[in-house]
A and B are shown apart, each in its own frame.
Chain A
Amino acid sequence: MMRYLIPLFAFMVLAVFLMIGLTLNPRQVPSPLIDKPAPKFQLNQLHDSDKVMSSDDNLGKVWMLNVWASWCVACRDEHPLLVQLAKAGIVPIYGLNYKDDRDTALQWLRRYGDPYQISIVDSDGKVGINYGVYGVPETYVIDKEGIIRHKHIGPVTVDSLEKTILPLIKELQNQA
């Protein structure tokens, strides 16, 4: 009896592994920057190019950094959600305008709405490399001490907001 059950058992183990494999997304490369200090930057602002924003300006609050560009199609998918989130006033969202043209970017914000407290300009993608950006959109959750707590790759969805991002933000905000 046993000798007939062994292949069945082996098949089941294999099936379980393959099933786990199906749920993994090779596009989601885990970031080594989680729980590490967010890379520092000093960048010009999109709306007012004379003004500079520094990553240190946000120390003491939990904030979201959303990497976006007017040429990025997937950004349009998540954008209404970000606008809604900004209206709810739960967490300040900052935009990293990645390798974009200033005029087109401003036009894009006028057209689709502007959820960002401030958008900063990373025209050559240097800060993007420091943050390990390899696709747009990407969203980072950064805590009061300036440490990256979460990275979301691809468009933010209602599901990811409700299940992961918002609970995390609440937890981080409650920390001293």
Chain B
Amino acid sequence: MTYLVHCKFTTISFTFLLLLLISSIGWAKEATPVAEDPEIEKRMLALTMDLRCLVCQNEPISDSRAEFSNDIRREIREQIKANKTDDEIIQFLVDRYGDFILYNPPMKPTTLLLWFGPVVLFLISLGSLVFYLKRRRIQIEEISLSQAQREKAEALLKEDNKGKDV
């Protein structure tokens, strides 16, 4: 019985998935812009995935529908057509918009802190943890009990055990 229900469920979910898939195919077709040369589109997309849209700053240019991103995409397409290399295109954009347009910050003197700061911070905290633990071990002394204290403690423990037996 449970098997049957399960089976029914999977058929339903399967048809549902299929429907979803079909509809998504339909959407994809609608959303694609006037596809020019697919090679150019592919390179343009790969480039713009790592570029920041300066208007909607948390979106890559490849995902953005802002006017700014449209213009940059058009510019990149034209430059690809003009046989520019990827590096040349990136440099072109950095010259105009600065490093901020890159999602991957380049390594240079002003970004050293950004690149190595976390590692340095980690090493500092690791060092101080080791230092602290070592110092603590020295500070904690084994305190030995005097004879009277020991007897008292044993008596207390015995009493406690008696209570438990009852």
Chain A contact residues, CB within 8 Å of chain B: 26-27, 29-33, 99, 125-126, 128-132, 134-135
Chain B contact residues, CB within 8 Å of chain A: 54-55, 57, 67-68, 71-72, 75, 94-100
Closest chain-B Cβ to A112's Cβ sits at a distance in Å of: 22
Q: Of A32, A129, A131, which one neighbours B71 at CB under 8 angstroms?
A: A129
Q: Residues of B contacting A130 with CB < 8 Å? A: 96
Q: Of A26, A30, A32, A135, which one neighbours B96 at CB under 8 angstroms?
A: A32
Question: Nearest 4 A-B pairs (CB), nearest first?
Answer: A134-B54, A132-B96, A32-B98, A29-B100
Q: Residues of B contacting A135 with CB < 8 Å? A: 54-55, 68
Q: Of B57, B97, B98, B99, which one neighbours A26 at CB under 8 angstroms?
A: B57
Q: Of A27, A32, A134, which one neighbours B94 at CB under 8 angstroms?
A: A32
Q: Residues of A contacting B98 with CB < 8 Å? A: 29-32, 132
Q: Residues of B contacting A29 with CB < 8 Å? A: 54, 97-98, 100
Contact of B96 with A131 in the complex, beta carbons under 8 Å: yes
20 further A-B contacts with Cβ under 8 Å, apart from A30-B100, A32-B97, A32-B98, are A26-B57, A29-B54, A29-B97, A29-B98, A29-B100, A30-B98, A31-B97, A32-B96, A33-B96, A125-B71, A126-B75, A129-B71, A129-B75, A130-B96, A131-B96, A132-B96, A132-B97, A134-B68, A135-B54, A135-B55
Closest chain-B Cβ to A32's Cβ sits at a distance in Å of: 4
Cross-chain pair count, CB within 8 angstroms:
38
Q: Residues of A contacting B100 with CB < 8 Å? A: 29-30
Contact of A32 with B95 in the complex, beta carbons under 8 Å: yes
Contact of B55 with A134 in the complex, beta carbons under 8 Å: yes
Q: Residues of B contacting A31 with CB < 8 Å? A: 97-98
Closest chain-A Cβ to B67's Cβ sits at a distance in Å of: 8
A128 vs B95: C-alpha distance when bound (angstroms): 13
Output the nearest chain B residue to A36 by Cβ-Cβ distance: B95
Most chain A beta-carbon neighbours within 10 Å: one of B54, B94, B99:
B54
Q: Residues of A contacting B67 with CB < 8 Å? A: 99
Most chain B beta-carbon neighbours within 10 Å: one of A27, A29, A30:
A29
Contact of A129 with B57 in the complex, beta carbons under 8 Å: no
Q: Residues of A contacting B75 with CB < 8 Å? A: 126, 129
Closest chain-A Cβ to B112's Cβ sits at a distance in Å of: 18
A31 vs B99: C-alpha distance when bound (angstroms): 9
A126 vs B71: C-alpha distance when bound (angstroms): 8
Contact of B97 with A134 in the complex, beta carbons under 8 Å: yes
A56 vs B163: C-alpha distance when bound (angstroms): 102
Output the nearest chain B residue to A126 by Cβ-Cβ distance: B75
Output the nearest chain B residue to A99 by Cβ-Cβ distance: B67
Closest chain-B Cβ to A14's Cβ sits at a distance in Å of: 14
Q: Residues of A contacting B94 with CB < 8 Å? A: 32
A29 vs B95: C-alpha distance when bound (angstroms): 13
A55 vs B150: C-alpha distance when bound (angstroms): 96
Output the nearest chain A residue to B69 by Cβ-Cβ distance: A134
